[in-house]
Chain A
Amino acid sequence: MSDSKSLDSPDRRNFLEMATGAVGAAGVAAAAWPFVQSMNPSSDVLAKGITEADLAPIPLGESHTVAWQGKPVFIVHRKPEVAAAMQASPGGKDPEPDQKRAKKPEWLVVVGVCTHLGCVPSRTEEGWLCPCHGSVYDNSGRIIQGPAPANLEVPLYHFVGNDKIVIGEA
């Protein structure tokens, strides 16, 4: 048992105050966690995370847009000369080889969301041009010019046979 002197000690009081404060703060943080998490994507939103796309109807040189996670994904059927030119060029301010971005040279799959502030770039001969603040992307979706800091994102995807891709899983 402690005597009355140690009971009155300021150290002891300070320690108890700090411990109470720490336990209280941890409790508030733990209670806040479910609320913050409730704002993150719900399971049905996450379930929309996979999209299958059929490649057969996309003619050579054309681009199709499919929706994945509510975002547009551009699937471009690149002509051999375009693919070759892209493989030869290192990219712009965020250099990345085309071989790493396209699983097959004739198919480019990128998320159609400008890495600047999220507008959908429009298709041009040379790649894409973002209407919002003028970012220019090449035919590998790499940033060439403008305020966007990074290349168009390549989503996780894999080929099923030759004519189909599944976006959202590797």
Chain B
Amino acid sequence: MINRIIGWVDQRFPITAIIKHEATEYPVAPNLNYWWNFGSLAGVVLVLQIVTGIFLAMHYKADVTLAFDSIQHIMRSVNYGWLIRYIHATGASAFFAVIYIHISRTLYYGSYRGPRELLWWTGLLLLLLVMGAAFMGYLLPWGQMSFWGAQVITNLFGAIPLVGGHIVVLLRGDFSVGDPTLTRFFALHYLIPFIIAGAVVIHLVALHTVKSSNPSGLPIADKDNIPFHPYYTSKDLFGVGVFLIIFCSFVFFVPDAFIEPDNNIPANPMQTPPHIVPEWYFLPFYAILRSIPDKLLGVVGMGLGIVILAALPYLDRSKIPGGSRYRPIFKALFFVFIADAFVLGYVGAHPPEGPMVLIGRIATVIYFGYIVSMPFVSKWEESWLRKRGLPAPVQKYLDEQAAGGTK
């Protein structure tokens, strides 16, 4: 019976072929390590956020007079409302943790390098969309941090010459963050996840066209690939299990870990809290913003902090394939970059006083220095490695490339 139904569908829509081609028999390199789990994990968190978000929206009220109280209502009166909200709030942080690890893996193994440029760019686009969704969602509880975070971030657009002021009013629908801002942020916060889901499909189509990179530093021959199912379905599922253990320990034991105490005070447009900080996942970029002493340049620097990563496939000019596996300098600089991101995050969390200002500026220079110096460093590293003599598999690969190129 089931088979007959599937057969009926297959004649009209290639469901079996799609599942085979894109999932069960989709060929994957055999040597992916656990760092490759984080892509599918991000997908799991996206589903978690969409599902919890829809249920929260059934009880939330997007109105400045009701919003704060409706959150209290969810926390106290709605059956399991506390659980759903804590999953959603923790899920936002988990989303960024997973995405940042996913991006770090991409940087470490050079996964952004050709032919995976489009995969990398759609990934960065996804990061920006998730940031937008997180930022708008953060306004909805209408606490002090919500309000002042939105106030400061919408104000960033005021730095645009000439039209900046008008754009800020247009974004807010009011002269300061107010009821129109809250309702539109809610509408967009509900919309963006579905745009994200669409962008994920594009990300996956690109992935399935160029296939996953792998940690060996060398491309894997097609004949060596293994089917996604059962090898990677089981590996991914194991990762999901580990993730859920960590995730649930936050949800059930330290659910307030990612909720600023100040956000339990209703928004007050007449008074700024003495120390406002963004959520942890925005801290490095916030630190870049504050480290540049000019308003417009600060905003540009912050945006560039993400956008400039899109240039990496072209800045990395080394002929040595892959990422850190055969490139010691590349590897060392990767760790410098990650450490630098943590330093920026630390600076972003503290008031800009005393040594923080200088540390922030140095870290900002290192952040951009890593990216801007990449073309020179990668070339120089290549010639240094060639002089030392390349490992046999790399030499063989380069010879094959050269032979292929002259044909």
Interface, chain A (partner B; CB < 8 A): 36, 39-42, 45, 49, 65, 67, 69-72, 112-113, 116-120, 122, 130-134, 147-149
Contacts and interface: CB of A to CB of B under 8 A. Distances in A.
Interface residues of A, dominant DSSP: loop
Contact of B173 (A42, A112, A118, A149): A42
B203 interface: no
A67 B351 CA distance: 28
Interface string B340-371: 00000000000111000000000000000000
Considering the complex of A and B, which 9 residue pairs feature the smallest CB-CB distances, nearest first?
A69-B175, A118-B155, A119-B272, A70-B176, A117-B152, A120-B272, A117-B155, A72-B270, A118-B151
Contacts of B158: 118
Interface residues of B, number: 34
B173 A39 contact: yes
18 contacts: A39-B171, A40-B169, A42-B173, A45-B178, A70-B174, A70-B178, A71-B175, A71-B269, A72-B269, A112-B270, A118-B151, A118-B155, A119-B152, A119-B276, A120-B272, A131-B274, A131-B276, A147-B293
Nearest to B151: A118
Given A41-B175, A113-B176, A119-B276, A70 B269 contact: yes
A152 B286 CA distance: 23
B173 A45 contact: yes
B379 interface: no
Interface string B270-291: 1111111000000000000010
Among B155, B184, B298: residue with most chain A CB under 10 A: B155
A120 B173 CA distance: 20
A131 B175 contact: no
B272 A149 contact: no
Interface in B149-163: 151-152, 154-156, 158
Contact of B148 (A70, A112, A119, A134): A119
Contacts of A133: 290, 352
Interface in B165-205: 169-171, 173-178, 180, 184
A112 B176 CA distance: 12
